[in-house]
Amino acid sequence: MSKDIIQFPKNFLWGTSTSAYQIEGGITNDWSEWETSSERKKKLQKQGRDLEEYICGKACDSYNRYEEDLNMVASLNCNAYRMGVEWARIEPEEGKFNEAEIEHYKKVLDEAKKKNLKIVLTLWHWTNPVWLANKGGWTNKEVVNYFTRYVSTVIKELGDRVDYWVTLNEPMVHVSNGYLTGEFPPNKRNYFQSRKVLNNLAKAHNKTHKLIHQFYPDSWVSITKLTNDFQPARKWCLLEKGLAKLFHYNWNEKFLRRIKDHLDYIGVDYYFHDRIIRRPPFKKNKNKQVTDMGWEIYPRGIYNTLKYLSKYKKPLIILENGLADAQDDKRSDFIRNHLYYVHRAIQEGVDVQGYFYWSLLDNFEWAEGFWPKFGLYEVDRNTFERKPRESAKIYARICRSGKLEI
Ligand code: IFM
Judge if the beta carbon of residue 170 lies within 6 A of ligand 1: yes
Judge if the beta carbon of residue 365 lies within 6 A of ligand 1: yes
Rounded to an integer, the average pLDDT of 160-173 is 98
Distance CA 342, CA 364 (A): 28
**Alpha-helix residue ranges (DSSP H) falling in 260-299:** none
Give exposure, 197-230, as e/b (b: 16+ Cβ within 10 Å): bbebbbbbbbbbbebbeeeeeebbbbbbbbbbbb
DSSP three-state, residue 290: strand
Compute, in angstroms, the gap from residue 13 CA to the centroid of ligand 1: 20
- Is the distance from CB of 263 to CB of 314 less than 8 angstroms? yes
For residue 384, is pLDDT > 70? Answer: yes
Compute, in angstroms, the gap from residue 116 CA to the centroid of ligand 1: 26
Judge if the beta carbon of residue 176 lies within 6 A of ligand 1: no
- CB-hemisphere CA count at 13 Å for 119? 24
Say what the pLDDT of residue 136 is. 98
Rounded to an integer, the average pLDDT of 23-44 is 98
Quick: pLDDT tens for 284-325: 999 999 999 999 999 999 999 999 999 999 999 999 999 999
Give exposure, 145-172, as e/b (b: 16+ Cβ within 10 Å): ebbbebbbebbebbbeebbbbbbbbbbb
Q: Which atom of ligand 1 is nearest to the CA of 17?
A: 3
57: nearest Cα among 378, 369, 372, 324: 369
Phi/psi of residue 199, each to 5°? -60, -45
Compute, in angstroms, the gap from residue 152 CA to the centroid of ligand 1: 26
4 vs 7, 79, 340, 399, 405, CA distance in Å? Answer: 10, 25, 11, 17, 6
For residue 193, is pLDDT > 80? Answer: yes
DSSP string over 131-171: HHHHTTGGGSTTHHHHHHHHHHHHHHHHGGG-SEEEEEE-H
Nearest CA to ligand 1 atom 1: 365
Q: Which atom of ligand 1 is nearest to the CA of 125?
A: 4
| pTM for this predicted structure | 0.98
DSSP string over 306-363: HHHHGGG-S-EEEEE-----TT-SSHHHHHHHHHHHHHHHHHTT--EEEEEEE-SB--
Rounded to an integer, the average pLDDT of 33-61 is 97
Compute, in angstroms, the gap from residue 363 CA to the centroid of ligand 1: 10
- Is the distance from CB of 60 to CB of 362 less than 8 angstroms? yes
Compute, in angstroms, the gap from residue 249 CA to the centroid of ligand 1: 21
Judge if the beta carbon of residue 19 lies within 6 A of ligand 1: yes
Identify the burial level of 235 via C-beta atoms within 10 angstroms of its C-beta, where 0-12 means exposed, 13-18 middle and 19 or more buried. Answer: exposed
Quick: pLDDT tens for 200-211: 999 999 999 999
- Share above pLDDT 90 across residues of the chain, in percent, rounded to a whole number: 99
Judge if the beta carbon of residue 358 lies within 6 A of ligand 1: yes
For residue 113, is pLDDT > 70? Answer: yes
Contacts (Cβ under 8 Å, ≥6 apart) of 80? 13, 14, 15, 117, 118, 119, 120, 163, 354, 356
Compute, in angstroms, the gap from residue 365 CA to the centroid of ligand 1: 7
Pocket test for ligand 1, best of 18, 365, 373, 376 (most atoms within 8 A of CB): 365
For residue 2, is pLDDT > 80? Answer: no
Compute, in angstroms, the gap from residue 402 CA to the centroid of ligand 1: 25
Beta strands, E only, 181-323: 220-226, 229-232, 266-269, 273-276, 316-320
Q: Which atom of ligand 1 is nearest to the CA of 374?
A: 9
Alpha carbon dihedral 311, 315, 318, 319, in 10-degree steps, equals -120
Distance CA 255, CA 208 (A): 15
Q: What does the mean pLDDT of the chain come to?
A: 98
Rounded to an integer, the average pLDDT of 81-95 is 99
Nearest CA to ligand 1 atom 9: 365
Give exposure, 384-395, as e/b (b: 16+ Cβ within 10 Å): bebebbebbebb
Distance CA 17, CA 83 (A): 6
Q: Which atom of ligand 1 is nearest to the CA of 320?
A: 6
Judge if the beta carbon of residue 362 lies within 6 A of ligand 1: no
Rounded to an integer, the average pLDDT of 63-78 is 98
- Is the distance from CB of 202 to CB of 146 less than 8 angstroms? no
Rounded to an integer, the average pLDDT of 194-198 is 98
376: nearest Cα among 360, 400, 352: 360
Task: Set out the domains of the chain in order of their start, with CATH numbers.
Answer: 5-405 (3.20.20.80)
Pocket test for ligand 1, best of 56, 170, 227 (most atoms within 8 A of CB): 170
- CB-hemisphere CA count at 13 Å for 277? 8
Compute, in angstroms, the gap from residue 49 CA to the centroid of ligand 1: 21
Say what the pLDDT of residue 406 is. 86
Judge if the beta carbon of residue 35 lies within 6 A of ligand 1: no
Quick: pLDDT tens for 203-241: 999 999 999 999 999 999 999 999 999 999 999 999 999
Rounded to an integer, the average pLDDT of 243-265 is 98
Compute, in angstroms, the gap from residue 319 CA to the centroid of ligand 1: 11
Nearest CA to ligand 1 atom 10: 365
Say what the pLDDT of residue 1 is. 60
Identify the burial level of 350 via C-beta atoms within 10 angstroms of its C-beta, where 0-12 means exposed, 13-18 middle and 19 or more buried. Answer: middle
Helix (H) or strand (E) segment spanning residue 394: helix 390-401
For residue 175, is pLDDT > 80? Answer: yes
